Structure 1
Amino acid sequence: GGDLVETAFLVQGLICVREYFKNSTDTTETGLSQKADQLWKEVEWNWYTQGQNVLYWHWSPNYNFQMNHKLQGFDETLITYILAAASPTYSIQKSVYQQGWARNGGIKNSSSQYGIPVVVNHNGANGNVGPMFWSHYSFLGLDPRGLSDEYVNYGDVTANHAKIMYQYSIANPKGWNGYSAKNWGLTASYSRNSDGTTGYAAHQPNNDLGVISPTAAISNFPYTPTESMNYLRFLYNENYSKLIGVAGPYDAYSLHYNWVTPRYLAIDQGPINPMIENQKSAFLWNLFMNAPDIRSGLIKLGFHSTQHGF
């Protein structure tokens, strides 16, 4: 079957690979760039509209569009619309973005948490924010700084999401032992089941199980550099033997329950290094945002970027 969202995450990386190697003098490297470009151009984005002004997540030859899951903001799927609009081969129209992702302006939210505007309607969060990965996956290449469409400013969306998550952990309304200004961050990860076994959950303020996921705060480095560094020091300087393994911080833990899962989950590990590098040098952001087809796609959808001059 086809999963358009996971494909979009892959393609976001392929665009960066293409851009990095495209001017190389090494034929192996230019060949890699050309292969990445070919794969990107073969994705049939517009197939996933079913002829409507919205993208759908799944299709398969056996089950067709049986799941019928629409991609509507705000969650992790923004990049899917950006790439679909930017495709030189299987593009979508601006109306698909407007009616599908942005819900004709219904994406906007005027509420606030801890005095910080929420900006967008986080799906199912009832005026609060969703799991932190919603502000990570689409923004590994897509630079939210100063990036706005006709509805919202995504620099505000992502930074405020991180700041609200930080303030939530300090406020700690459920009274979990261990939550603090240096131990914070909720997102989807391995989790602790009620019987103490390991499960999986999308941790967020309205689904707070007392479990901290290191990828949440660490992948927030571009949004909350000081708070994220304090968290990283908390892990490495105060809890190294307990929470750090061969590949860095374990996927999830709860100080309240004295519980840790000594495991890694690739999609949680994935955003950490790119987002740290984006905070340091904007390396991936610059590769992706300066790609000519990506820039054209963003302009087509009515985006403006003060950071990248359009």
Structure 2
Amino acid sequence: MNILPRFAVVLSLAFACTASAMAAQASKQTSESHERARIPPMVDDLERRTFDWFWDSANPQNGLVPDHYPTKSFASIAAVGFGLTAYGVGAERGYITREQAVERTLATLRFFHDAPQNDSEDDATGYHGFFYHFLDMDTGKRFSRWVELSTVDTTLLLGGVLFAQSYYDRDTPQEREIRQLADEIYRRVDWTWVQARKPLITMGWTPGGKFIPHDWQGYNEGMLVYILAMGSPTHAVGEDAWKAWTSTYDRTWGEFRGQTFLNFAPLFGHQYSHVWVDFRGIRDAWNREKGLDYFENSRRATYSQRAYAIANPGGWTGYGENVWGLTASNGPGGLVVKSGDTERTFQGYTARGAGLDYISDDGTIVPTAAGGSIAFAPEIVVPALEEMKRKYGKHIYTKYGFVDAFNPSFHTKTDLRTGKLVPELGWVDTVHLGIDQGPILLMAENWRSGFVWNVMKKNPYIRKGLQRAGFTGGWLDGARAEP
């Protein structure tokens, strides 16, 4: 304080307060020092680089984040959701100031709050509170007529919106506006409208084709769709929706590569919902019956993928205990390569994975498959990230962290849709995808501090959705669900 105390007692109190503040600061520094000692430098570096991808790639005028970067791209609303959450991480880590995070977040929320919502083909950003999967980076309108109004991508966007609502809790005009905008964006989403085949929720809608003839069921990244749909204070779906969602679980419950778990071949399905929800110790009826929570299920899925890579049934180059990971990603391209009597098919963008439900493996390794699982199984993920960087980092580790994917088995000279051929390695992608960068950054932060999870535990809509779905135990016990 910049005042001179008039009395000795005031001076004594000032010294006591200063000593207390210094002790608190020393304690904080000691805690941070211990964390730095525990967190491998490579992970610390990866988190910062991945954050920079979101900060540098977004349009600061409207907050839209590209699907891929640094090449020209349309915006991905799911990537925006990851980005909104990333800005809070950046503020906490000191990558940017809180004021910078507030400014970018406000630009984003103002855009989505005010963007046109109607049923036109070309002059809308969304409809009934939902948003189109891909948007024009500048205008924010539906990017093309092949783009659907996506329930799951809107949900991932809302993960970031609700994070902002709970994180920016200070009594300033800017942070009050963030909370108000976030609340209004979430409240207007009409979840009951997308129950085309009630009680399930459809995957999407288009003005021309209307509702997509597929619903969210089984087990995949759609878990958060139902949690947010059940937590809505304005258009909530019934509790029978969660029962319908879990009713087909047993189709993929079983043993794969030494682990018994609820299978979903690509690892993103085991990661996305967990970015915002800490499932440790909370269980729904299905969890209680099987004797595990969804966090443990994702841990087993991670170990299963590593075991698959070690076994390497396809005989792909480079696979091993520290080089593994299958999930949705770019690839060398849709073509068949023949070598003698051997014929191998390589895919472009596809949902690669290995599980009881299916196996899609063309030798393409996706770093986010491991990186996004760091909170589940750091003991096997950290060595994998370090080994991939050590072995291939010259070509796959850039100023923005790991590129989307690489394939040491592909060496065919051809016109590539994306990526490039590296003689000593194989095919290497030249872009980073927002939906792959997000889990790397945010799950790394959840592992090291629990930051995103702890913020979201304060959100009444998340709590209400979980409780209506039947989750109990752990941090949910005694929680109030009312907004």
Identity of aligned residues (%): 30
* Partner deviation per Cα, 1:22-81 (whole Å, 9 max, x = no partner): x3022112211211111111111111113611111112333321x221100211111000
Aligned ranges for residues 207-246 of structure 1 at < 5 Å? 207-246=360-399
Equivalent residues of 1:188, 1:200 under 8 A apart: yes
Residue deviations 1:136-187, cap 9 Å, x none? 1111101121232101221222111111111111111111121011101100
**What's the counterpart of residue 267 of structure 1?**
435
Secondary structure, counterpart of 1:11 in structure 2: helix
* 1:178 and 2:318 aligned: yes
1:125 alignment counterpart: none
Alignment match, 1:304: 472
Rounded to whole Å, the distance in 2 between the matches of 1:35 and 1:174 is 50
Deviations 1:100-123 (A, max 9, x none): x112xx3135421233112x2x4x
**Alignment counterpart, residue 258 of structure 2, candidates 115, 118, 133:** 115
Counterpart position of 2:246: 102
Q: Could you tell me whether the CA contact under 8 Å between 2:275 and 2:452 is conserved in 1?
A: yes
Report the Cα distance in structure 2 between the residues aligned to 1:234 and 1:55, rounded to whole angstroms. 41
CA contact (8 A) 1:86 1:298 kept: yes
Report what 2:415 is aligned to.
none
Alignment CA distance shift 1:98-1:191 (3 Å): same
The question of 1:201 aligning with 2:350 is answered yes
Match of 1:86 among 214, 217, 231: 231
Classify the secondary structure of the residue corresponding to 2:453: helix
**Stretch of structure 1 that moved more, 217-226 or 282-291:** 282-291
In structure 2, do the counterparts of structure 1 residues 39 and 230 end up closer, same or farther at CA, with 3 Å as the change threshold?
same
Q: State whether residues 57 and 70 of structure 1, in contact with CA within 8 Å, keep that contact through their aligned partners in structure 2.
A: yes
Tell me which residue corresponds to 2:222. Answer: 77
Q: Find the aligned partners of 1:114 and 1:136 in 2 and give their Cα distance.
A: 19
Q: Distance in 1 between matches of 2:458 and 2:174?
A: 23
CA distance in 1, matches of 2:441, 2:360: 27
The question of 1:160 aligning with 2:313 is answered no
Question: Is 2:327 aligned against 1:187?
Answer: yes
SS at match of 1:304: coil
What letter matches 1:164 in structure 2?
Answer: S
Q: 5+ residue gaps in structure 1? A: 123-128
Match status 1:2 vs 2:2? no
Verify the 8 A CA contact 2:151 2:203 in the aligned structure 1.
yes
* SS of 1:221 mapped into structure 2: coil
- AA in 2 matched with 1:268: D
Instruction: Tell me how far 1:198 sits from its aligned partner.
Output: 7.4
Unaligned segments of structure 2, at least 5 residues: 1-147, 288-292, 338-345, 411-425, 479-483
1:11-160 matches, cutoff 5 A = 11-21=158-168, 23-50=169-196, 52-65=198-211, 67-99=212-244, 101-103=245-247, 106-108=248-250, 109-118=252-261, 120=262, 122=263, 129-152=264-287, 153-160=293-300
Give me the TM-score of the superposition, normalised by structure 2: 0.59
Number of equivalenced pairs: 297
Given that 1:86 and 1:296 are in contact with CA atoms closer than 8 Å, whether structure 2 keeps it comes out as: yes
Could you tell me how far apart the structure 2 residues matched to 1:4 and 1:222 are? 26
CA RMSD, 1 decimal: 1.8
Spell out structure 1 runs of 4+ moving beyond 6 A.
Answer: none
Distance in 2, Cα, partners of 1:308 & 1:235 = 38
1:248 aligns with 2:401: yes
Amino acid at match of 1:159: R
* Residue type of the alignment partner of 2:331: S
Give the match for residue 291 of structure 1.
459
